[in-house]
Amino acid sequence: MSGLKRIGNALISVYHKDNLEPVIKKLQELNVQMYSTGGTQEFIEGLGAKVIPVETLTSYPSILGGRVKTLHPKIFGGILNRRDLESDQLQLEEYEIPPIDLVIVDLYPFEQTVASTTDEQAIIEKIDIGGISLIRAAAKNFKDVVIIPSRNEYECLMNILTKGQGSSTLQQRKDLASEAFQVSSHYDTAIYNYFSKGEGAFKQSVSESKTLRYGENPHQKGTFYGKMDALFSQLNGKELSYNNLLDVDAAVNLIAEFTDTTFAILKHNNACGLASREKLVDAWKDALAGDPVSAFGGVLITNKPIDLATAEEMHKLFFEVVVAPGFQPGVLELLKQKPNRIILEQKKVEMPAKSFRTLLNGIIEQDKDLKTETVADMKTVTTKAPTEQEKTDLVFANKLVKHTKSNTIILAKNNQLLASGVGQTSRVDALRQAIQKAGEFGFDLKGSVMASDAFFPFPDCVEIAGKAGITAVVQPGGSIKDKDSIAYCDKAGMSMVMTGTRHFKH
């Protein structure tokens, strides 16, 4: 086997001791000489294994409260020496440096410390110096050295120690070196982002990845980077596709706007049905009524555990994915009758506050649109003020418009999405599309409200809306012709409120 190397000496310095015991026992069984420091040394000794303190090798104690332990030529010379270079081997003899063939490191938990405290000194002390240096040195010399940069690689090491009887191949060492540089770069990125506070260079690092069946289309490759299991438990169905993930992301962001019992149906990242009701089954029925055609093959989401009565109604429809915070008795047994139906139980996880995407030859980043207007943010600009029900509906519609592709118009009534005009190049076209769809599905727009993601450059939209029976409008305002739209509303007996906040979504 090409590049086969046997492990004779090992340096072990880890923060977490989880799952280390089997590794130590196997190294002992293979008569590998172990070197260690501090708490790791005590752990190894507690297992009855022979270990040489690093201080004995270096003839230098751990100093500065443990900040300097392994940073010594006898350690790094043992790791970095090239076994096939005679001059390196002569220097090892001259300075009595034993070669180190295996380095096991588990870094100080910097990210976890940042997440758990604001104490700057405590955070700074969790910046690993010796460990990161050992990782880089061993990874650089992968031709001769096995590097285990975290406990996630213990399984791979145990494979080398058992199946390989302590001997590793060049490919195994190179693969571990690749993972080691991933660990070190991720660690440094976390440190940089802590110090930069989001300013300066753009740096993101996500260690977990999952290859998708394909990208947006079958001829495109796709990968998801992130901890999907932290957000969902998948209880049934095939693997999520690239397009499923886009829809689920849109669904999760949308449903987060609502506290009342709400059901939403999404297709191509936009809601085609949504309703809030006292009973979940009624929320489902009224969400489906918004566009039963587009709902076919859609993504469903609710903010309440799904009960059996609701599940029985849902089961009548073909859908790709359902997301809920829980499932009452009997529901899963029913929904799992479709083996490919993806069922996700959503967990409570804090979502990122920023979003970014590739663009041209670079990346753009922005704060997420986390502003949600309430009645208090809506300024009445017409003679007539909206009724209490219209105010409720205006807030409801404005939440929806924020999560719908621009240009968009939302029509709503009694906490139900009646229709939407989505992704149009003209706001007038978006409104006409919404009115047409509402009519096709039997909705009477009299007394309904309209929400727009951006201002009306001309009064034509409110004129069309008024003639369709819409009685209240919410929009950001800011057009030089706002007064013309206001004048028409006053003439037609409509109310209009302005929020001062645009909600473009591209």
User: By the 8 A CB rule, do 232 and 240 touch?
Assistant: no
Radius of gyration of the chain (CA): 31
**Identity of the residue numbered 98:** P
Sort 199 into a burial class: Cβ within 10 Å, 0-12 / 13-18 / 19+.
Answer: exposed
User: By the 8 A CB rule, do 203 and 192 touch?
Assistant: yes
User: By the 8 A CB rule, do 131 and 13 touch?
Assistant: yes
Q: Which long-range contacts does 75-80 make (Cβ < 8 Å, 24+ apart)?
A: 75/11, 75/100, 75/134, 76/133, 76/137, 78/9, 78/11, 79/11, 79/103, 79/134, 79/137, 79/138, 79/141, 79/145, 80/137, 80/140, 80/141
User: By the 8 A CB rule, do 34 and 51 touch?
Assistant: yes
Our answer to whether residue 140 is catalytic in this structure is: yes
In Å, how far are 100, 273, 323 from 296, measured between CA atoms? 62, 11, 16
User: By the 8 A CB rule, do 347 and 231 touch?
Assistant: yes
Residues forming beta bridges with residue 270, ordered by sequence position: 267
**Identity of the residue numbered 128:** D
Nearest CA to 353 out of 366, 371, 331, 368 is that of: 368
Q: Which residues contact 208 (CB under 8 A, 6 or more apart)?
A: 225, 226, 227
Sheet of 146-148: strands edge to edge? 51-53, 33-36, 9-14, 102-106, 146-148
Nearest CA to 172 out of 143, 152, 133, 150 is that of: 143
Q: What are phi and psi of 342, to 5 degrees?
A: -85, 120
User: By the 8 A CB rule, do 325 and 305 touch?
Assistant: yes
Per annotation, catalytic residue among 143, 174, 210, 268: 268
Nearest CA to 323 out of 276, 272, 270, 254 is that of: 254
Sort 206 into a burial class: Cβ within 10 Å, 0-12 / 13-18 / 19+.
Answer: exposed
In Å, how far are 146, 350, 497 from 353, measured between CA atoms? 39, 9, 28
Per annotation, catalytic residue among 17, 25, 26, 140: 140
Residues catalogued as catalytic:
140, 268
